[in-house]
Amino acid sequence: MVATLGFALVVGETRIPLEVIWSVLRIEAGYTAPEVNPIDHGILWSYRLPRAIVAMACGMSLALSGVVLQALLRNPLSDPYILGLSAGASTGAVAVAILGFGAGALTLSSGAFIGAMLAFGFVAWLARLARGPGSSATSSLALLLAGVAGAQLFHALTALIIAKSADANQARGIMFWMMGNLSGSRWPDVYLAVPVALAGAGVIFAHFRALDAMTFGREAAQSMGIRTGLVMAVLIGVAALLTAVMVSLTGAIGFVGLVVPHAMRFMVGVQHARLIPATALAGGIFLILADIVARVLIPGQTLPIGVVTALVGAPAFAVILVRSSRAHSS
């Protein structure tokens, strides 16, 4: 993680050598260090470092939300983006930002949280209706289609709010909310993202046994002494909060919650005591790397980071979809 962070600082429009980075960090920490070109200093300290840290916190949060949703809904294709949580969060954040129910990062996040919870409620309700009576685990198909419906609905609402109330400049922000973008990340964002990511990770890790116990379904977990209703309420709330805060800071970045947990299950196994820390770490690294790619892929232009994660994530999604439908039919 530290190496990736270092890498993120070096790479960019202008290459900054490691010695310079080291000097800047020492100067900012109050030590004496060799003089540094003030432009390099500015790029590093005000742009690249907070941006990389936000990417890390965001990757951690989205990947952990994915782990939680996959375990609780017992569906390998669950992820905050696919289930429409991110879309709901975007709508909530846009409503706050443009319709002006107050301002500032905190109200933006609360708007996003409300949006995410509404979206989740809508998708869960729809999937339940579509599932029909009799079957216990929500089928992948019902959940996916409900997620598609939910995401489209909330995307449409976002577009509507922007089209109705925003000027042309704000309207360009629609890309920001739908594809995700880290270019606006500054230190104040770090102060929100990092504590939220760490607290969320802590709460999720504290429930690793309950998440394990859900392997064979809610009833089995309940018979092993887990208060499943309470655990689901708390952890889905945490997943929605993590998603909401990150979306309000960076827009809706897709597929992180899908790709990272599955890769980690493959590497460390399905036990959450190992899976949660591994996913947090890998999620952070993945998004920092994705952001580096977004910055350097087309010289002189920065891609929305969601484009990069989708390029990796969509094929991975296809693979998981095929494998999980085979597991169901066998």
Write the Ramachandran bin of 4: left for phi over 0, alpha for psi from -120 to 50, otherwise beta.
alpha
DSSP 135-170: --SPPHHHHHHHHHHHHHHHHHHHHHHHHHH--HHH
Residue ranges in 28-57 that form contacts with other proteins under rule CB under 8 A: none
The reply to whether 107 sits near other proteins by the rule CB under 8 A is no
Nearer to other proteins, 195 or 269 (CB): 269
The reply to whether 330 sits near other proteins by the rule CB under 8 A is yes
Least Å distance between CB 330 and other proteins?
A: 7
Q: Closest by alpha carbon to 285, among 264, 311, 315, 314?
A: 264
Q: Closest by alpha carbon to 72, among 190, 238, 196, 184?
A: 238
The reply to whether 191 sits near other proteins by the rule CB under 8 A is no
Residue ranges in 218-257 that form contacts with other proteins under rule CB under 8 A: 219-220, 222-227
Least Å distance between CB 196 and other proteins?
A: 23
Write the Ramachandran bin of 134: left for phi over 0, alpha for psi from -120 to 50, otherwise beta.
left
The reply to whether 139 sits near other proteins by the rule CB under 8 A is no
CA-CA distance, 199 to 53, in Å (whole number)? 16
For helices 140-165 and 305-329, give the axis angle rounded to 10 degrees. 160
Nearer to other proteins, 70 or 86 (CB): 70
Nearer to other proteins, 73 or 190 (CB): 73
The interface region with other proteins, picked from 90-98, 156-164, 215-223, 296-304 by CB under 8 A, is 215-223
CA-CA distance, 66 to 119, in Å (whole number)? 16
Nearer to other proteins, 173 or 217 (CB): 217
Least Å distance between CB 224 and other proteins?
A: 4
- The torsion defined by the Cα of 272, 273, 276 and 279, in degrees rounded to 10, comes to -90
Nearer to other proteins, 11 or 224 (CB): 224
The reply to whether 276 sits near other proteins by the rule CB under 8 A is no
Least Å distance between CB 37 and other proteins?
A: 50
The interface region with other proteins, picked from 145-153, 209-217, 235-243, 309-317 by CB under 8 A, is 209-217
The reply to whether 270 sits near other proteins by the rule CB under 8 A is yes
- The answer to whether 87 touches 223, Cβ cutoff 8 Å, is no
The interface region with other proteins, picked from 34-42, 188-196, 212-220, 296-304 by CB under 8 A, is 212-220
The reply to whether 137 sits near other proteins by the rule CB under 8 A is yes
Least Å distance between CB 213 and other proteins?
A: 5
Q: Which position among 20, 24, 68, 213 is part of the footprint of other proteins (CB under 8 A)?
A: 213
The label of the residue with tokens 């709330």 reads 237
Kind and range of the H or E element at 286? Answer: helix 272-296
The reply to whether 216 sits near other proteins by the rule CB under 8 A is yes
Question: Residue 250 CB: number of other CB atoms within 10 A?
Answer: 29
**Spatial CB neighbours of 180, under 8 Å, sequence gap ≥ 6:** 250, 251, 252, 253, 254, 304, 305, 306, 309
Nearer to other proteins, 48 or 272 (CB): 272
Sites of contact with other proteins (CB under 8 A): 74-76, 137, 206, 209, 212-213, 215-217, 219-220, 222-227, 265, 269-271, 324, 327-328, 330
